[in-house]
Amino acid sequence: MNLRSQSKLPPLAADAFLIWSRRGNTGDHLIADACERYLRDRGIDVWRSDGSLEEAALAGDSEYLNASLSSFRGMLMFSGGGNIGIYPDNEAIRAGIIAHATPGQRCLVFSQSAVGPEPALIDNRVTVWCRDAASLAVLENAGTRVELVPDMALYMDDVIEKRPAGQGVYFVKRAPGRDLERVDHGIVWDCPSTDLTFDNPFDRVISTLAPYDFVLSDRLHGGLIALMMRKKVVFLPVGYHKIRSFFETWLNSCSGTTFVDASSDLPARMAALRTPNCDFLQMFCELADPALIRFLMRR
């Protein structure tokens, strides 16, 4: 039995539907939590999808999508991440739902990285928040309406336990064969190393990182969670601009983090790091709040 047959239709009285994929890792779930919290904190009554809309879009179930969306006058919000132009299932979800949106319906895709454009996002009803400058250029050049807003997870900075300092290094490292972003960057370190934010729930990620002083990470949210804990963080490259451009866009001035793509640079860069003291919540809200107002004011 599929989700569509088990669930009621979405509540038409909601201000917004939040669309998100349950197939993601710890970072994706943290982003979805942040999206919901952010909208509710701004007075927007949001219904977080139970999975039925996403399932219908992937199955091409126009009957269910029409029944769910044809009378809905609120906004369609899509959770953030790093999957525009790279993961077909996420593209299919966005395309299927946007295709069944009403002509005047506003659609917001929360902060994303992008490898390439998606036809469904080149639509006057759609705004995409890009979480790094390179992704902004990719989508803007394709004709998508865009805003530059940091990663949604940073909105959770005030609720993540602060555990600065510690002893030693932990390496959050992508395991082979799990995604399309992994590269052999040639960086190794004699320390505990797992694909931590892929394999574990959020509370276990926190408890695992808590004893360490430094975190190396080629997963963006492995590094961002560690930064929000106030660990010293070294970000490492992936197969496209995602982590490098995010660092260069937002984190260059943060003394607690650096980006390294050569193992020979690691010791000196790590020695220069200091406990981060950035207010990531403020950083996020300074960009997100004006962008949200512009989106809401559109007619």
Token reading at 26: 């710890």
> What are the C-alpha distances in Å from 75 to residues 3, 12, 13, 22, 50?
22, 11, 11, 21, 17
**Residue closest to 175 by CA, chosen among 206, 225, 218, 214:** 218
Per-residue pLDDT band for 249 (boundaries 50, 70, 90) equals very high
Calculate the CA 48 to chain-centre distance.
16
Return d(Cα 20, Cα 96) in angstroms, integer.
13
Answer for the pair 230, 275: CB distance below 8 angstroms, yes or no.
Answer: yes
Tens digit of each residue's pLDDT (9 = 90 or more) over 136-175? 999 999 999 999 999 999 999 999 999 999 999 999 999 9
- Contact between 24 and 181 under an 8 Å Cβ cutoff? The reply is no
Average pLDDT value for residue range 17-24: 89
Whether 3 has a pLDDT exceeding 70, the answer reads: no
Q: For the chain, how many helices (H) and strands (E)? A: 12, 12
Q: What is the pLDDT of residue 5?
A: 65
Give me the pLDDT at residue 24, please: 82
C-alpha span between 299 and 289 (Å, rounded): 18
The pLDDT confidence band at residue 85, using thresholds 50, 70 and 90, is very high
Phi, psi of 236 (to 5 degrees): -120, 155
Q: Give the pLDDT mean for 19-43.
A: 94
Which residue matches tokens 């555990």? Answer: 163
- CA–CA dist 245, 241 (Å, integer): 5
> Among the listed ranges 168-172, 184-188, 262-266, which one has the minimum average pLDDT value?
184-188
pLDDT, average across residues 24-38:
95
- The answer to whether 80 touches 152, Cβ cutoff 8 Å, is yes
- The rounded distance, in Å, linking the Cα atoms of 273 and 275 is 7
Model confidence at 205: pLDDT above 70: yes
pLDDT in tens, 98-134: 999 999 999 999 999 999 999 999 999 999 999 999 9
Confidence of residue 277 (pLDDT cuts 50, 70, 90): very high
Q: What is the CA radius of gyration of the chain?
A: 19
> What Cα–Cα distance (Å) separates residue 202 from each residue in 26, 98, 187, 198, 199?
6, 31, 25, 10, 10
Report the pLDDT value the prediction gives residue 188, as an integer from 0 to 100.
86
Q: Do 65 and 57 touch, CB atoms closer than 8 A?
A: yes
Q: What is the 3-state secondary structure (H, E, C) of 108-122?
A: EEEEEEECCCCHHHC
Residue listed under structure tokens 């919000």: 77
Rounded percentage of the chain residues whose pLDDT exceeds 90: 89
**3-state SS, residue 83:** strand
What integer is the mean pLDDT of 218-245?
97
d(CA 219, CA 133): 18
Give the percent of the chain with pLDDT over 70: 97
pLDDT at res. 298: 82
pTM, entire model: 0.95
Confidence of residue 1 (pLDDT cuts 50, 70, 90): very low
- The two three-digit tokens of residue 241, written as one number: 């601009």
